[in-house]
C-alpha cells in the first residue's frame, strides 16, 4: 500500500501496488501519449470563434478502471474470511502492472464507439463531424476537455463507461492553467494558482525567502558566458526545482519568461552558481507578477489605432 496526498485539494489517497518489479517488462508498450499544449490553445480559439461550449472533467481512478491485460492471480488472505486460501483472479489493472497504455486504449475505444476519430495532427485530439462543423474531445491521461454544441451529451455518454469527477461547464482551472471568460466572451488564461503552489513548495522545501524582481532576467545577464563554480548536488536539485516548473509555466501562457527559462534550461545538467542566481530571479519575478497571462482574442489587430497612440 502506498499513501500520498493530492496536491490540488490536499486529499489523502492510497494505492494498492503489486510487485511489478519482479516482471520482465522489456517487451511491454507502456507509452501513453498526452494532448499537445498547442492543441489545447487552438481548441480554445476554435471554441470562441465557433461559439462552442466547453466542459472539463477528470476520470476518477482511471488506471484501475482498465481491464487487466495479463492473467494475474493470488492466494486470498485473512480479509476474505471463509474463503481464505482460495485463488483470486484480478480482472482490473493494478498499479505496478503493464497497463498505462491499456488505459489510454480503453478510453480511445470508448471515444471511437461514440463516433470520434483521432486527428492527424495530434492523436489525443479527437474530432467528430456535426451538423454545424466539428465537435472535439482532448485527452491528457485522465483529464478531458469537451468542446461541442452540447458537451454535456458527450460527458453523459463517457460517464456510462467511466466514473467522472470535477465536471465543470465553465472550467476555472485545467492542467495548471486558470481560465476565465471575460464579459465580451474572450477567454483569459494565466498560471496564478500554479505559480502560487510552486512558490509555496519551493519556500517550504528549501526554506528561502525570494526577493521580488521587476524583470525575469537582467539585461546584462549572459548565462552562456558564466564560468563560476559548479553547483553542489543539493544546489543542483534546487536549480531543477525551478527550471522544471518554469518550463510548464511557459507552456501555460507565461511567454514573458520564455527567454529566461529556455536560456537557463540549457545548463540544467551542469549548472553554475550564477545560473542559480538567475533562476531564483525568475521566481522573484513570478512572485511579483502573479496575474499576468494571455487573452484569446479573435479580433484583427488595429494597427492604425496603435500608430495614432504612439504618435500622441
Residue from 114, 183, 171 nearest 144 by CA: 171
* Same domain membership, residue 115 and residue 37: yes
Beta-carbon contacts of residue 9 (< 8 Å; ≥ 6 apart): none
Is 307 contained in some domain?
A: no
* Same domain membership, residue 242 and residue 165: no
* Same domain membership, residue 170 and residue 41: yes
pTM above 0.85, yes or no: no
* Same domain membership, residue 130 and residue 15: yes
CA distance linking residue 28 with residue 19, whole number of Å: 16
* Same domain membership, residue 247 and residue 210: yes
* Same domain membership, residue 221 and residue 152: no
* Same domain membership, residue 206 and residue 147: no
pLDDT by position in tens, the chain (length 312): 455 666 555 666 666 666 656 666 566 555 566 888 888 888 888 888 888 888 999 887 766 677 777 777 888 888 889 999 999 887 776 666 655 566 777 788 889 999 999 999 999 999 999 988 999 999 987 889 999 999 999 999 999 888 888 888 878 777 778 888 777 777 888 888 889 988 998 888 888 888 999 999 999 999 999 999 999 999 998 899 899 999 989 988 889 999 999 999 999 999 999 999 999 999 999 999 988 888 887 777 776 765 565 565
The residue segments making up the domain with residue 257 are 192-294
Number of folded domains that form the chain: 2
CA distance linking residue 66 with residue 71, whole number of Å: 14
Is 209 contained in some domain?
A: yes
Is 301 contained in some domain?
A: no
* Same domain membership, residue 169 and residue 35: yes
The sign of the torsion formed by the CA atoms of 216, 222, 225, 229 equals negative
* Same domain membership, residue 257 and residue 145: no
CA distance linking residue 70 with residue 68, whole number of Å: 6
Amino acid at each position: 500500500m502506498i499513501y500520498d496526498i493530492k496536491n490540488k485539494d490536499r486529499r489523502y489517497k492510497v494505492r494498492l501496488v503489486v510487485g511489478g518489479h519482479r516482471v520482465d517488462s522489456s517487451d511491454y508498450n507502456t507509452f501513453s501519449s498526452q494532448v499537445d499544449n498547442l492543441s489545447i490553445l487552438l481548441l480554445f480559439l476554435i471554441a470562441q470563434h465557433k461559439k462552442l461550449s466547453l466542459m472539463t472533467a477528470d476520470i476518477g481512478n482511471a488506471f484501475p478502471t482498465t481491464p487487466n491485460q495479463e492473467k494475474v492471480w493470488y492466494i486470498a488472505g485473512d480479509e476474505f474470511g471463509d474463503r481464505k486460501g482460495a485463488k483470486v483472479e484480478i480482472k482490473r489493472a493494478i498499479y505496478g502492472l503493464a497497463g498505462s497504455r491499456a488505459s489510454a486504449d480503453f478510453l480511445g475505444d470508448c471515444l471511437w464507439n461514440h463516433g470520434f476519430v483521432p486527428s492527424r495532427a495530434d492523436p489525443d485530439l479527437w474530432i467528430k463531424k456535426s451538423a454545424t462543423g466539428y465537435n472535439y474531445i482532448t485527452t491528457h491521461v485522465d483529464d478531458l476537455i469537451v468542446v461541442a454544441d452540447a458537451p454535456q451529451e458527450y460527458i453523459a455518454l463517457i460517464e456510462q463507461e467511466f466514473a467522472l469527477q470535477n465536471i465543470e461547464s465553465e472550467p476555472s482551472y485545467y492542467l495548471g492553467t486558470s481560465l476565465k471568460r471575460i464579459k465580451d466572451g474572450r477567454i483569459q488564461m494565466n498560471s496564478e494558482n500554479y505559480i502560487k503552489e510552486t512558490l509555496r513548495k519551493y519556500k517550504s522545501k528549501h526554506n528561502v525567502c525570494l526577493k521580488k524582481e521587476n524583470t525575469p532576467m537582467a539585461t546584462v545577464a549572459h548565462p552562456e558566458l558564466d564560468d563560476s563554480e559548479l553547483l553542489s548536488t543539493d544546489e543542483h536539485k534546487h536549480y531543477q526545482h525551478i527550471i522544471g516548473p518554469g518550463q510548464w509555466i511557459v507552456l501555460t501562457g507565461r511567454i514573458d519568461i520564455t527567454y529566461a527559462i529556455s536560456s537557463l534550461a540549457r545548463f540544467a545538467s551542469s549548472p553554475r552558481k550564477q545560473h542559480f542566481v538567475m533562476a531564483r530571479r525568475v521566481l522573484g519575478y513570478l512572485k511579483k507578477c502573479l496575474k499576468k497571462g494571455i487573452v484569446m482574442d479573435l479580433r484583427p489587430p488595429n494597427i492604425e489605432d496603435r500608430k495614432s497612440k504612439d504618435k500622441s
